[in-house]
Chains A and B, each alone.
Chain A
Amino acid sequence: MTPPTPPPDEGFKENELASDIDVSQVHGSILRERAEPCDGYEPVPLWLITVFFAIIFWAGLYLAYFSGGFRADVFNPDRVAWAGGGPAVAAGPVDPKVLGKRVFTQNCVVCHQTTGLGVAGQFPPLVGSEWVVGGDWHGDNHLVKILLNGLQGPIQVKGAAYNNAMPPWAQLDDEKISAVLTYIRSEWGNSAPAISADYVKKIREASAAQTEPWTQKALQAIPGEKAPDAAAPAAAPAAAPAAPEATPAASPAAA
């Protein structure tokens, strides 16, 4: 088939002015125009068709590998969920330090701040605090009791006076309390052994009678204890050590 020839340029044809278009409107810019555009009919190049199909093939592979099985709950394109595969979300035990940090961030930073430095005069710091790492009359049991029942009234922390109210956190389970205490005892330069969930459970049972938040005086009346060696978490991911910066649990200083 031969492509059509474009028509010659239109000249001014007097006898076609049947309509009431004014002669002066058919001005130079229209007269010099070439014909209206028309189509040629060259075939589609073969290489383009080949490339087209190659791209379609690649597209199919990409969608197969990076679509997370087309599930609505898979947000990570690197996770491949084949038909009949397990749940999209791998359920594994959480590293206690990760859990502890999360619990701390959700619940504690409002007062104690992300830096653990608290707010001067209002909320006591946790960094280097004897209440957290031990020292003087402070024991690990006191720390757990504070988490379980709260603390109020005038207290002394690192030589500074505070008089506020910390709410109880008994609604957190033993694992979360042990995780957050382990976290604050090993963060910001603090270096104290981990506290196990079993120990928290033991203290929780022992404090069952306590209904009011503790005061410093009431806590001082109870002899301080050290928590026993926290066992390494059984199913922790390989990257998480049990108590990374902990000093040996057998501390020479008695409470």
Chain B
Amino acid sequence: MNKLPLLFLGVFITFASSWLGLVAYPYLTLGNMQPLPDEDTGGYFPPSQSGLAVAGQRVYAANGCVYCHSQQVRLAPLSTDIAKGLGPRQTVARDYLRAQPVFLGTMRTGPDLTNIGARQPDQNWHHKHLYEPQTVTDWSIMPSFRYLYKMQKIQGQPSADAIQGLAGPHAPAPGFEVVPSDDAKALVAYLISLKRNYPLPESPEPPAN
């Protein structure tokens, strides 16, 4: 194999084959999907996100949440995701239309977050958990994200944003409160928006047992 043109051609063609199958094809089919209209509420599946939730995606990316948390629900018998309650059905391509970037994830050091918004819809819970995960779940190895929060002296009335029910070594002393920064608020809005329990025809729900 002494000829440069032959080598170049072979190298190019083999590369192009996978490019066509794994890049061009998803670009053309999955990349052009549209959301499905929802007759009941007049909205769309997947539902559009609030601006705060979109900003929250940037915070999720900046702090590397994807390295411990996945966001995909898989089918039986390959997995027991549905039996474990991670979601009512397999997540499919359309579910990720609003995601930017798509946080599929490849590790479950922590639980899957596809439907965390349905499991934990309470803002205060999320703020408590991000501030000091071990006070909510004592066996957790999730690091604290208290750098996204501010401890401040209560001026007159407690702030409406202040986190309720904080405990543990970094709980505010009397007269102090912890308020979320804009990044924390955006992140929590994003987490609460994570719900993939609407129906999609290409992903039928397995029958309830």
B10 within 8 A of A: no
**Alpha-carbon distance between A9 and B43 when the two chains are bound, in angstroms:** 79
A237 and B199 contact, CB distance less than 8 A: no
Write out the residue numbers on chain A whose beta carbons fall within 8 Å of the beta carbon of B119: 114
**Alpha-carbon distance between A103 and B41 when the two chains are bound, in angstroms:** 11
Given A75-B90, A89-B202, A102-B197, the answer on whether A109 and B121 have CB atoms closer than 8 Å is yes
B40 and A98 contact, CB distance less than 8 A: no
A25 within 8 A of B: no
Considering only CB atoms, which chain A residue lies closest to B118 in the complex? A105
B208 and A239 contact, CB distance less than 8 A: yes
Interface residues of A in 141-178 (CB under 8 A from B): 171-173, 176
Interface residues of A in 219-255 (CB under 8 A from B): 237, 239-240
B207 within 8 A of A: yes
B198 and A106 contact, CB distance less than 8 A: yes
B92 within 8 A of A: yes
Residue-wise interface mask of A (188-227) relative to B, using a CB-CB cutoff of 8 A (1 in contact, 0 not): 0000000000000000000000000000000000000000
B197 and A90 contact, CB distance less than 8 A: no
B54 within 8 A of A: no
- A176's contact among B40, B92, B208, by CB below 8 Å, is which? B40
A29 within 8 A of B: no
B29 within 8 A of A: yes
A88 and B40 contact, CB distance less than 8 A: no
A76 within 8 A of B: yes
- B88's contact among A76, A102, A237, by CB below 8 Å, is which? A102
**Alpha-carbon distance between A105 and B118 when the two chains are bound, in angstroms:** 7
Write out the residue numbers on chain B whose beta carbons fall within 8 Å of the beta carbon of A239: 207-209
A114 and B30 contact, CB distance less than 8 A: no
- B204's contact among A90, A114, A171, A240, by CB below 8 Å, is which? A90
Write out the residue numbers on chain B whose beta carbons fall within 8 Å of the beta carbon of A30: none
**Alpha-carbon distance between A176 and B41 when the two chains are bound, in angstroms:** 12
A31 within 8 A of B: no
A72 and B29 contact, CB distance less than 8 A: yes
**Alpha-carbon distance between A164 and B154 when the two chains are bound, in angstroms:** 30
Write out the residue numbers on chain A whose beta carbons fall within 8 Å of the beta carbon of B77: 78
A171 and B208 contact, CB distance less than 8 A: no
Residue-wise interface mask of B (180-209) relative to A, using a CB-CB cutoff of 8 A (1 in contact, 0 not): 000000000000000101110111110111
B204 and A89 contact, CB distance less than 8 A: yes
A73 within 8 A of B: yes
B208 and A97 contact, CB distance less than 8 A: yes
Residue-wise interface mask of A (12-36) relative to B, using a CB-CB cutoff of 8 A (1 in contact, 0 not): 0000000000000000000000000
**Alpha-carbon distance between A113 and B120 when the two chains are bound, in angstroms:** 9
A89 and B30 contact, CB distance less than 8 A: no
**Alpha-carbon distance between A240 and B209 when the two chains are bound, in angstroms:** 8
Write out the residue numbers on chain B whose beta carbons fall within 8 Å of the beta carbon of A113: 121
A197 to chain B, nearest CB (A): 15
A130 within 8 A of B: no
Considering only CB atoms, which chain B residue lies closest to A91 in the complex? B201
A75 and B197 contact, CB distance less than 8 A: no
B75 within 8 A of A: yes
A92, A106, A172 interface centre (most CB from chain B within 10 Å):
A106
A110 within 8 A of B: yes
Write out the residue numbers on chain B whose beta carbons fall within 8 Å of the beta carbon of A75: 90, 92-93, 202-203
- B197's contact among A88, A92, A105, by CB below 8 Å, is which? A105
**Alpha-carbon distance between A92 and B208 when the two chains are bound, in angstroms:** 13
Write out the residue numbers on chain B whose beta carbons fall within 8 Å of the beta carbon of A72: 29-30
Residue-wise interface mask of B (86-116) relative to A, using a CB-CB cutoff of 8 A (1 in contact, 0 not): 0010101100000000000000000000000
Since A75-B90, A102-B88, A237-B207 are in contact, a sample of 9 more A-B pairs with Cβ atoms closer than 8 Å, ordered by chain A residue number, is: A75-B202, A75-B203, A78-B77, A91-B201, A98-B207, A101-B88, A102-B199, A107-B41, A240-B208
- Chain A residues within 8 Å of B, Cβ to Cβ: 72-76, 78, 88-92, 94-95, 97-98, 101-103, 105-107, 109-110, 113-114, 171-173, 176, 237, 239-240
Pairs across A and B, CB under 8 Å, 27 listed: A72-B30, A74-B202, A75-B90, A75-B92, A75-B93, A75-B202, A75-B203, A78-B77, A89-B201, A89-B204, A90-B204, A91-B201, A95-B207, A98-B207, A102-B198, A102-B199, A105-B88, A105-B195, A106-B197, A109-B118, A109-B121, A110-B121, A171-B41, A171-B42, A172-B40, A237-B207, A239-B208
